[in-house]
């Protein structure tokens, strides 16, 4: 649309036109809004209006069908005619841009937008309209709202790269929103599926105006804007005033002068260095949120707050009764971390002591004292008879991030007294660092399909194959489906000519391509998982892991199936190699390579791994930034770019197979790997309450038009859960796997790697 058409406004208009149907083509008129609302400056009218006009190349989507581009003769107008192949049936739902249309009941608002001078980014501003009669045409109405930022870079010698916008209360600013219409025919948005809390506008340049398109949403706590410069610096501005985004209305934010106040860390732009310490996490308030009590030499239990005044008016708290021993204590399970210095290094709580100047201490206990010593912190309380808030500085112990597991509380530390203490509102460093990830979630997840038995409960283990690695020259997405009891393999495709990294993908009608129990009870009776492969001399070699049972224990075997047509996959009945799994296989340097956990196998015989050369311990747990991978590094995917191999691996700090983060190592020879030392997380599980809040696996990465896209498996369920760190605990209440998509620019990734 015309660049001067900065935002989309107006009401539904009835008008007439002459539709054309000839059995092969449908053509009718679509009209843009003309009744522009006044632009506002955060609520104060500013008196500017701008029309919206069709521009060369514009298309619309009606009932899921994309039109031909607008006729060049009708550009620069509000009304234009669009042509569709075949016929369309009423009712007619029209959406612009075509990428915003999903299935007739949902609209997609992108989380990544590209700046366009004097306008909002194409494909970011959404309009919709409906009609029952083709002869009436369709009038579009604005769905998106907008915020315009005027930024002056002043004497800054670099250029402006991008800006990031977040609602301070975590409101969804992008994602797939359900679509409805009110009694007057105006479009209305419903709940958002897999919402994104951040919108990024890229391709900034110098001083100017930058417009972000957003769904209509209330931001009662305001928003935070971060502007990034080209010299690895940034400026962050936060408003706490309520902001309401309304359809068709452009808000003018106050003008800003760029002032770089960030610091470069290991080649990454640290969007977490805002000058303000992030909030701590309320581990327990002993009322609506509890933590596990794992040990004690004292009696302690939740009770009514004996002094509901001052700084603690809550109803409940924890009562601890000491028994007169020198080091009476109560232990609370707390899986907190001091990740990367991103979170406030502090423990804070409220205490009601039995007397004045009473001694009090906490002890932080690790899983293994060989890797991290126990840490004791003490203080002396103030007056008796009032709640006091105390804090313990953990900044000297950041090097032990991710090692601590328990907090021991010592009332009357070091003295032999019997007394009653009360504790409340225990805050710890927040281990939710998803907002700081380099890769950003780019689309809602791919969902299981209850109508298909083999993937009725979950869809997982994504593995992207580029056209040169497939039989038919299409893009393939290998997957594992689950019915909650068994795992089977299938795949999806996209044509190379129309490929889009976010889909949609076409379901292969022959799915599942690999069933369970092909090789028997001890090999694959439980599941077939972790598919990967490539084409050699017209044959596709599909490697995967089979899980079976032997003597009550689960077995792992690398299995192989082949195909010459992509329709039928023939299992090779002799297992490729027993006793191991597979995460990825690739061709390189005249050989084949199979990666699993800490090993890589070098082989030339495609049909058997018995002669493969095993290279052990190519990558070991520990040594990742801030101990992010000290416990496990199981699983990962290989990706080749610019003469290097990159291993995207699963980094765990609590469980061997429930990882919360991805990290990267790189190599030039497949055998010697260097872990990236950047403290900023590459990608983490989702925030609390997100669909992937539990764990993430199988980061399959590919390059597309200057960006790196990552498909991954995420586990969880939306909403609050008791303990998201307990492996697979969500299975008891409906947790399952889905496939997510994240994106990062190639330049940002290489800078993050320090390459």
- Could you tell me which residues come within 8 angstroms of residue 151 by beta carbon, excluding any fewer than 6 positions away? 160, 163, 204, 207, 208, 210, 227, 255, 256, 257, 258
Query: In terms of DSSP H, where are the helices of 203-249?
Result: none
**Whether residues 51 and 182 fall in one domain:** yes
pLDDT at site 378? 93
Domain count, the chain: 4
Which helix (H) or strand (E) segment holds residue 750: the answer is helix 746-753
The highest-confidence range among 261-270, 543-552, 627-636, by mean pLDDT, is 543-552
Residue 240 lies in a domain: yes
**Structural contact between residues 179 and 185, judged by C-beta atoms closer than 8 angstroms:** no
Q: Are residues 210 and 242 in the same domain?
A: yes
Q: Is 527 domain-assigned?
A: yes
Identify which of 265-279, 332-346, 411-425 has the greatest average pLDDT: 411-425
Portion of the chain with pLDDT greater than 90, in percent = 41
Is residue 273 situated within a structural domain? no
Strand 644-651 relative to strand 198-202, pairing: unpaired
Highest-confidence segment of 237-241, 582-586, 725-729:
582-586
Checking if the pLDDT of 272 tops 80, the result is no
CB atoms within 10 A of CB 719: 12
pLDDT tens column, 131-160? 888 777 888 888 988 888 888 887 788 888
On the question of pLDDT at 26 being above 90, the answer is no
The residue to which tokens 């612009």 are assigned: 96
Establish if 276 belongs to a structural domain. Answer: no
Whole-number pLDDT of residue 725 = 82
Contacts for 469 with CB less than 8 Å, ≥ 6 apart: 476, 533, 534, 535
Q: What is the pLDDT of residue 15?
A: 28
> Does residue 380 sit within a domain?
yes
List Cα–Cα distances, 412 to 356, 417, 451, 659, 663, in angstroms. Answer: 11, 7, 61, 39, 43
Average pLDDT over residues 320-340: 67
Res. 268 pLDDT band, cuts 50 70 90: very low
Choosing from 189, 222, 257, the residue where a domain stops is: 257
Same domain for 648 and 745? yes
Q: pLDDT grade, residue 584 (50/70/90)? A: very high
* Element containing residue 521 per DSSP (H, E): helix 521-524
pLDDT surpassing 60 at residue 290: no
Average pLDDT, the chain: 83
Q: Are residues 202 and 105 in the same domain?
A: yes
pLDDT in tens, 99-135: 888 888 889 998 888 887 767 776 788 889 988 887 7
Q: Are residues 348 and 406 in the same domain?
A: yes
Which DSSP category does 266 fall into? T
Find out whether 585 and 469 touch, Cβ atoms under 8 Å. Answer: no
Whether residue 589 sits in one domain with residue 465: yes
Q: How confident is the model at residue 418 (pLDDT cuts 50, 70, 90)?
A: confident
Query: What local confidence, expressed as pLDDT, does residue 610 receive?
Result: 93
Higher model confidence: residue 540 or residue 201? 540
**Is residue 542 very low, low, confident or very high in pLDDT (cuts 50, 70, 90)?**
very high
Is it the case that residue 387 has pLDDT exceeding 80? Answer: yes
> What distance in Å separates the CA atoms of residue 694 and residue 711, rounded to the nearest whole number?
17
Residues 6+ apart with CB under 8 A from 203: 114, 115, 162
Same domain, 610 and 626: no
**What pTM was computed for the model?**
0.65
Which residues contact residue 391 at a Cβ distance below 8 angstroms, ignoring those fewer than 6 apart? 346, 347, 348, 349
Q: Please report whether residue 270 resides in a domain.
A: no
Same domain, 438 and 420: no
Look at residue 591 in the predicted model and tell me its pLDDT: 96
- Mind listing the pLDDT tens digit for each residue in 655-687? 889 999 999 999 999 999 999 988 889 999 998
Bigger pLDDT: 218 vs 280: 218
Query: Is there a single domain that holds both residue 341 and residue 230?
Result: no
Q: Are 563 and 539 in contact (CB under 8 A)?
A: yes
Shared domain for 600 and 673, answered yes or no, is no
The reply to whether 5 falls in a domain is no
Q: What is the pLDDT of residue 141?
A: 87
Distances (CA, A) of 687 to 18, 435, 649: 52, 8, 20
pLDDT band at 296 (very low <50, low <70, confident <90, very high): low
Whether 264 is in a domain gets the answer: no
- Three-class DSSP category at 428: strand
Q: What are phi and psi of 565, to 5 degrees?
A: -130, -5
CA distances from 490 to 247, 358, 476 (A): 41, 65, 10
Residues 408 and 556 in one domain: no
Mean pLDDT value across residues 644-658: 93
Cα–Cα distance, 167 to 142 (Å, whole number): 21
Q: What is the CATH number of the domain that holds 329?
A: 2.60.120.260
Output 154 or 522, whichever has higher pLDDT: 522
- CATH of residue 480's domain is 2.115.10.20
Alpha-carbon gap, residue 527 to 548, rounded angstroms: 7
Average pLDDT (396-403) is 83
Please tell me whether residues 33 and 77 are part of one structural domain. yes
Domain boundary among 562, 583, 617: 617
Whether the per-residue pLDDT at 360 is higher than 90: the answer is: yes
Structure tokens at 101: 């249309």
Q: Which domain holds residue 625?
A: 434-446+620-755
User: Which of 617, 639, 667 is the last residue before a domain boundary?
Assistant: 617
Residue 291 has what pLDDT? 52
More confident residue, 19 or 99: 99
Is the predicted pLDDT of residue 419 greater than 80, yes or no? Answer: yes
Mapped to the 3 state alphabet, what secondary structure does 402-423 carry? CCEEEEEEEECCCCCCCCEEEE
| Of residues 651, 648, 616, the one with CA closest to residue 634 | 651
Phi-psi category of residue 293: left, alpha or beta, with phi > 0 → left and psi -120 to 50 → alpha: beta
């Amino acid at each position: 649309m015309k660049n001067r058409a900065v935002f989309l406004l107006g009401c539904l208009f009835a008008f007439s036109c002459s539709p054309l149907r000839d059995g092969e083509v449908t053509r009718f008129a679509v009209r843009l809004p003309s009744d522009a609302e006044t632009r506002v400056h955060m609520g104060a009218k500013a008196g500017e209006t701008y029309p919206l006009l069709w521009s060369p190349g514009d298309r619309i989507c009606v009932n899921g069908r994309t039109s031909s581009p607008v006729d060049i003769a009708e550009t620069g107008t509000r009304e234009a005619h669009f042509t569709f192949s075949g016929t369309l049936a009423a009712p007619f739902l029209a959406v612009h841009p075509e990428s915003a249309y999903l299935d007739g009941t949902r609209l997609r608002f992108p989380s990544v937008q590209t700046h366009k001078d004097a306008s909002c980014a194409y494909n970011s501003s959404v309009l919709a309209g409906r009609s029952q009669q083709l002869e009436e045409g369709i009038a579009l109405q604005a769905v998106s709202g907008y915020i315009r930022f005027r930024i002056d870079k002043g004497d800054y010698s670099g250029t402006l790269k991008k800006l990031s916008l977040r609602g301070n209360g975590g409101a969804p600013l992008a994602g797939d929103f359900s679509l409805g219409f009110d009694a007057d025919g105006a479009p209305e948005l419903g709940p958002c599926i897999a919402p994104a809390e951040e919108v990024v506008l890229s391709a900034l340049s110098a001083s100017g105006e930058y417009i972000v398109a957003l769904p209509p949403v209330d931001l009662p706590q305001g928003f935070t804007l971060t502007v990034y410069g080209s010299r690895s610096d940034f400026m962050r501005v936060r408003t706490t005033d309520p902001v309401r985004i309304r359809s068709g209305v452009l808000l003018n934010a106050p003008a800003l002068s760029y002032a770089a106040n960030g610091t470069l860390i290991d080649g990454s732009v640290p969007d977490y260095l805002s000058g303000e310490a992030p909030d701590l996490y309320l581990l327990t308030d002993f009322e609506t949120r509890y933590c596990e009590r794992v040990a004690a030499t004292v009696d302690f239990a939740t009770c009514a707050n004996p002094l509901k005044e001052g700084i603690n008016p809550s109803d409940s708290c924890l009562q601890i009764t000491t028994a007169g021993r020198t080091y009476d204590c109560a232990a609370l399970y707390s899986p907190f971390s001091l990740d990367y210095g991103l979170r406030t290094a502090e423990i804070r709580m409220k205490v009601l002591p039995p007397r004045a100047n009473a001694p009090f201490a906490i002890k932080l206990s690790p899983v293994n004292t060989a890797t991290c010593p126990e840490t004791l912190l003490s203080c002396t309380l103030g007056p008796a008879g009032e709640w006091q808030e105390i804090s313990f500085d953990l900044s000297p112990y950041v090097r032990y991030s991710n090692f601590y597991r328990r907090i021991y509380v010592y009332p009357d530390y070091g003295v032999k007294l019997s007394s009653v203490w009360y504790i409340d509102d225990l805050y710890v460093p927040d281990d939710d660092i998803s907002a700081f990830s380099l890769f950003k979630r780019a689309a809602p997840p791919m969902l299981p399909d209850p109508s298909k038995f083999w993937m009725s409960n979950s869809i997982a283990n994504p593995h992207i194959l580029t056209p040169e690695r497939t039989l038919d020259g299409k893009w393939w997405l290998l997957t594992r489906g689950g019915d909650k009891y068994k795992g089977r393999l299938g795949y999806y495709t996209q044509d190379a000519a129309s490929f889009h990294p976010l889909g949609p993908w076409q379901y292969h009608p022959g799915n599942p391509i690999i069933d369970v129990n092909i090789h028997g009870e001890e090999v694959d009776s439980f599941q077939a998982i972790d598919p990967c492969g490539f084409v050699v001399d017209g044959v596709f070699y599909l490697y995967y892991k089979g899980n079976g049972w032997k003597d009550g224990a689960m077995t792992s075997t690398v299995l192989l199936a082949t195909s010459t047509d992509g329709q039928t996959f023939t299992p090779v009945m002799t297992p490729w190699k027993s006793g191991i799994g597979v995460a990825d296989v690739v061709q390189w340097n005249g050989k084949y390579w199979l990666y699993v956990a800490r090993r890589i196998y070098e082989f030339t015989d495609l049909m058997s791994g018995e002669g493969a050369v095993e290279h052990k311990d190519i990558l070991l747990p520990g040594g990742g930034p801030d101990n992010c991978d000290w416990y496990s590094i199981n699983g990962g995917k290989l990706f080749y770019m610019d003469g290097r191999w990159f291993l995207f691996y699963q980094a765990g700090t609590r469980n061997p197979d429930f990882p919360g983060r991805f990290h990267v190592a790189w190599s030039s020879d497949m055998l010697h790997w260097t872990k990236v030392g950047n403290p900023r997380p590459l990608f983490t599980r989702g925030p609390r309450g997100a669909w992937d809040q539990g764990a993430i696996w199988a980061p399959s990465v590919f390059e597309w038009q200057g960006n790196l896209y990552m498909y991954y498996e995420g586990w969880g369920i939306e909403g609050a859960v008791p303990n998201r760190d307990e492996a697979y605990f969500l299975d008891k209440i409906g947790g399952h796997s889905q496939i997510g998509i994240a994106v990062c620019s190639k330049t940002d990734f290489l800078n993050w790697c320090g390459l």
